[in-house]
Structure 1
Amino acid sequence: MTNPPASPPPVSAPVSEQKQAYWRATIRLILTLLAVWFVVAYLMGIVFAPALNSVRIGEAPLGFWIAHNGAIYVFIALIAIYATRMRALDRQYGVEE
């Protein structure tokens, strides 16, 4: 005996303009924060570290300091910025919990 064919999943309603705007704002925020992360972690911490080492913070060269200390501070700030901005976006678009 064969099973009857499964019915297709229901067609979802078109995505509203507000949901699209919310998604665009969320993606824009994420891409901006990822760009900052990339610049600090990869470019400043690795690629441009030798050039930045001519500047000193206390006893440590700047490139070394960014790679070992500064990047961590920036990452913590990025998390706080993300949480704050997403809370504001959720309120703005009426999707807060």
Structure 2
Amino acid sequence: MNSQSLVLVGTVSIILAACGDANHRPVEMDRNFGQSVRQLTRAQIANPDAAEHPLPDSPRKMDGESGTNTMQGYRDAYGQQVISQPVIIDVGGSSSGN
């Protein structure tokens, strides 16, 4: 390394050291931090035991043919491209007079 590189590295390290806070203490969070989010998430689940007790007509109990028909119906319903019609909004209008 030449002297210019050493000066540059030294200057950058001094500048970066000046940015640090010598009296920094980690921020202490409340013991219940995030608990409300977890409670709201649990409250939005309709049936928390659904994995242990699946419905009689659940996809896990579906045979191959009905699964294929279900997926084909889904693809047919959502695979079609819908062409939207242009909408003209006339605000204020125009009037002509003599």
TM-score range, shorter chain: under 0.3
TM superposition score normalised by structure 1: 0.27
TM superposition score normalised by structure 2: 0.27
Structure showing greater relative contact order (alpha-carbon pairs closer than 8 Å, 6 or more residues apart): 1
Q: Which structure has the larger Rg?
A: 2
